Structures are given as C-alpha cells and as structure tokens.
Amino acid sequence: MNVVSLFANIGIGEAYLDSLGFSVVVANELEPKRADIYKQIYPNTEMICGDITDKKVYSSIVKAASKHKIDVLMATPPCQGMSTAGKQDKYDQRNGLFLHAVDLIKDLKPDYFIFENVPGFMTTSIIYNGQPRLIPEILKDLLKTTYSMSFNIVDTQDYGVPQSRTRMILLGTRRRVAHKWVMPDKETKVNTLEDAIGHLPIVDPYIYDISEEEMYKFFPKYKEREEAALKISPWHIPPRHILRQVITMQHTPTGCSAFDNEIYKPRKKNGEIVRGFHNTYSRQRWDTPAYTIAMSNNQISTQNSVHPGRYIGKDANGDDIYSDPRVFTIYELMRIMSIPDNWAIPTTVSKQYLRHIIGEGVPSLLISKLFSQIRNV
C-alpha cells in the first residue's frame, strides 16, 4: 500500500511502515535540513521540500503522488499553535495548515487518511469563512460526504510505547471502502522504563566545568563505561553536565525530585537554591512508562529528562548515592520513543538537533500499531 506523508519531519512515525508492507512514496517537509535527513533515512521516498501553502510546492506533491495509486495519506501538522501551554490564537496561521492536507485528500482520493496531533486539536478554533470554527467541525463539513471519521484521544502507553504521551488521532476511511480504519484494542501489558532501558549498563555523564583529570577521579570508570555505551549505539553518548548538578542528582533517589533532598538541593553558582517545577531536577521511575519526553531534554533542569538511576552505595560522607546522574542519552530517548534500534539516522546529525526532533515526534510503535489495522486490506 502506498502512503503520502505530510509535515514529515525526519520520518520518526514511518520507521516501521516498510516492514508492514507500506511504501511511503512521497513525503513533504518544510525545513530543508529535516528534509535532507529524511532523504538519507528513506532514499526510496520522493521528498518534496517546501511550504505546502505554496502553490508550486503543492502542485509538485500532487504530481509526484499521481505516479502511484495512493492508499493512505498521513499528516502531522505543526501543533505549537494548539498547545495548551500556548495562546491557542485562532489567528495563528499554523493552525490552518491541516486545510492543505484536506485539499490533498480531495485531490488524491486515498482510501484512508490519518491526522496525528496534540489533544488541543479538538478544541482549537480558526477563522474559517470569516467565522471562528472548531477544527473538527470544519473537517466534518469538508469530508463527511466521502469519508467516515473517528476522532480519538489516546495515551501511547496503551499501545506498547514505554512512554505516557497523550495524542489526538483522527482516522478516516473512504465511505465506499468496506474495511473501516479503527483504533486497535488497548494492550493489557504496559511497557515500563525498566522494559525499555533497564538492561543498559551505567553511563557516567561528562562533567565539562572541571578538568578531565578531576573528572576521572570523580568517575574512575568513565572511559570504560563510555566505550561500552558506544559499542551499543553511536547515539549512546554520555551527556554533558556541570559538576554541581551532577552531585545533586547523584544524591537524588530513583523517582524523586532533588528539591526534596535535605542537603543536596539544586543550587545556583552562588549557592542560592534554585526555584523550579517539581518535574525538573527529577529522576524518572523504573516501574512505570516514562513521562512525556519534551523537545528540550538535554539539561538536568528540563522536565522529565533525568535517568532513574540505581542505588550504588555511599559516598565519603556516608550519604546514599545513585548511578547515572544525567539526562537520558539519545539512544535511550529513541527506545523510549519506540524507535527501532536499527533506524539509520546519519551520524552527521547534531546531537542537540536530534534531541529536539525526537522530543516533538510521534512514537514509531504507535503509528505501526495503527497501520497494522489496515495492512493487507
């Protein structure tokens, strides 16, 4: 079955589709850097790089897709304008990008389509024909005669992903098609962080505000552990942190916030206690799915970014200490996002850029479970 992917980013959602018998024949991405990475990962896909609102770009997508019978259209429009943390401005032009996906559905007439977005998609209004209208109402008006649709709010942990991440999934089926696209049943087993990364050995962070000689005294096994990590994956790279934050997290138990520490609280350079939210400077838990991974995930002070760690003994002062006082490595983030280990990300991609992209992606396994519902139809 042939797929068109819109707002494709670098194709995290598409990671399992080939193994299911789906071919992403055409993809569209606005940013050239992301489009280039996509092309390296998926060399057989015709990537149309550019703004879908540009008539020439839109026509190029239609022309490329028209070489094939398109069975599925997948769209993940930008969600920043729909975020509950944002203004939800009905005049934000990004919120109207889904209309161009609707135009393509009408032009290409796929049997199925899927939109993936934040839950705010359901409650966001845009100015349409001069009036504020909810996005779901507009979609129903434009497509209800030719497609049946189901709007779903899902938590990715219910579908095998070792991460709790709430998303909106819209599934559309052409009315003449007998087999309707519906959500798969929720899974009874929940995959935890232990399931995803619990087998991996300790990785010490690189402490960049002291000399390497001092760092090797602080972490005597740093080089040995770094070499072992890089044998697992070139993306299992020790994160870089400053000493005082490492010490703080070294004394923070699994599943706890450093703000609750009696002595080793998060502090500024001048010794003043940092003010912050409880999900910052906070270790995740082993026995649950990971909390939602955000786009900013490279610092101990960012939300839900710190490795759970394990109790490893006591320091020279007799205080309990825990392993892995650091944020997740990129490889660990990939596993939390259910990206396959053999996914061919070019090693030339910058670490910070990749962290950001992973944090805004859709878990690969969720898309795989959804597409499994219509394979071999």
CA distance 227 to 222: 9
Give the pLDDT of residue 277: 78
Integer angstrom CA distances of residue 364 from 4, 55, 334: 16, 31, 10
**The residue count for the chain:** 377
Q: Is 333 helix (H, G, I), strand (E, B) or coil?
A: helix
| Token output for 309 | 């760690």
Q: Which letter, b or e, does each residue of 94-116 get, where b requires 16 or more Cβ atoms within 10 Å of its Cβ?
A: ebbbbbbbbebbebbebbbbbbb
Give the pLDDT of residue 85: 45
Q: Is 321 helix (H, G, I), strand (E, B) or coil?
A: strand
| Residue 311 pLDDT greater than 80, yes or no | yes
Q: Is 276 helix (H, G, I), strand (E, B) or coil?
A: coil
pLDDT single digits (tens) 11-30? 999 999 999 999 999 999 99
| Residue 94 pLDDT greater than 70, yes or no | no
Integer angstrom CA distances of residue 294 from 66, 113, 128, 275, 361: 37, 27, 31, 20, 9
Q: Are 306 and 197 within 8 A, CB to CB?
A: no
CA distance 335 to 259: 28
Question: Would you say residue 342 lies in a domain?
Answer: no
Say which DSSP state 76 is in.
Answer: -
Question: Would you say residue 37 lies in a domain?
Answer: yes
| Residue 162 pLDDT greater than 80, yes or no | yes
Determine how many CB atoms are found less than 10 A away from the CB of residue 377: 13
| Residue 362 pLDDT greater than 60, yes or no | yes
- Same structural domain for residues 244 and 358? no
| Token output for 183 | 């959500």
| Residue 108 pLDDT greater than 90, yes or no | yes
Task: Read off the pLDDT band of 279 (50, 70, 90).
Answer: confident
- Same structural domain for residues 82 and 106? yes
Question: Would you say residue 192 lies in a domain?
Answer: no
Active-site residue, selected from the candidate residues 79, 139, 161, 168: 79
- Same structural domain for residues 170 and 222? no
Give the pLDDT of residue 88: 53
Q: Are 111 and 150 within 8 A, CB to CB?
A: no
Give the pLDDT of residue 377: 74
Mean pLDDT of the chain: 94
Question: Would you say residue 54 lies in a domain?
Answer: yes
Give the pLDDT of residue 96: 86
- Same structural domain for residues 59 and 115? yes
| Token output for 11 | 């194709």
Q: What is the mean pLDDT of residues 34-42?
A: 97
| Token output for 271 | 């010794």
49 is catalytic: no
Question: Would you say residue 339 lies in a domain?
Answer: no
Question: Would you say residue 25 lies in a domain?
Answer: yes
pLDDT single digits (tens) 55-91? 999 999 999 999 999 999 999 998 555 554 445 555 5
CA nearest neighbour of 234 among 347, 324, 332 = 347
Question: Would you say residue 265 lies in a domain?
Answer: yes
CA distance 351 to 345: 11
Give the pLDDT of residue 28: 98
Q: What is the mean pLDDT of residues 308-323?
A: 97
Domain that holds residue 89: 2-187+349-371
Judged on CB neighbours under 10 Å (0-12, 13-18, 19+), 199 is: exposed
CA distance 19 to 29: 23
CA nearest neighbour of 15 among 370, 372, 368, 373 = 368
Sign of the torsion angle spanned by Cα atoms 69, 375, 24, 21: negative
Torsion of CA 75, 81, 83, 84, to 10 degrees: -140
CA nearest neighbour of 308 among 253, 358, 365, 241 = 253
pLDDT single digits (tens) 180-198? 999 999 999 999 999 999 9
| Residues contacting residue 348 through CB under 8 Å, at least 6 positions apart | none
| Token output for 313 | 């003994």
Torsion of CA 190, 10, 97, 295, to 10 degrees: 60
Task: Read off the pLDDT band of 376 (50, 70, 90).
Answer: confident
**Helix (H) / strand (E) containing 225:** helix 222-232
What's the whole-model pTM score? Answer: 0.94
- Same structural domain for residues 365 and 302? no
The number of folded domains in the chain is 2
- Same structural domain for residues 171 and 247? no
pLDDT single digits (tens) 109-152? 999 999 999 999 999 999 998 999 999 999 999 999 999 999 99
Question: Would you say residue 315 lies in a domain?
Answer: yes
Q: What is the mean pLDDT of residues 278-303?
A: 94
- Same structural domain for residues 55 and 155? yes
Integer angstrom CA distances of residue 180 from 137, 148, 170, 183, 249: 21, 8, 13, 10, 49
pLDDT single digits (tens) 243-271? 999 999 999 999 999 999 999 999 999 99
Domain CATH for 111: 3.40.50.150
Give the pLDDT of residue 278: 78
| Residue 340 pLDDT greater than 90, yes or no | yes
Q: What is the largest CA-CA distance in the chain?
A: 72
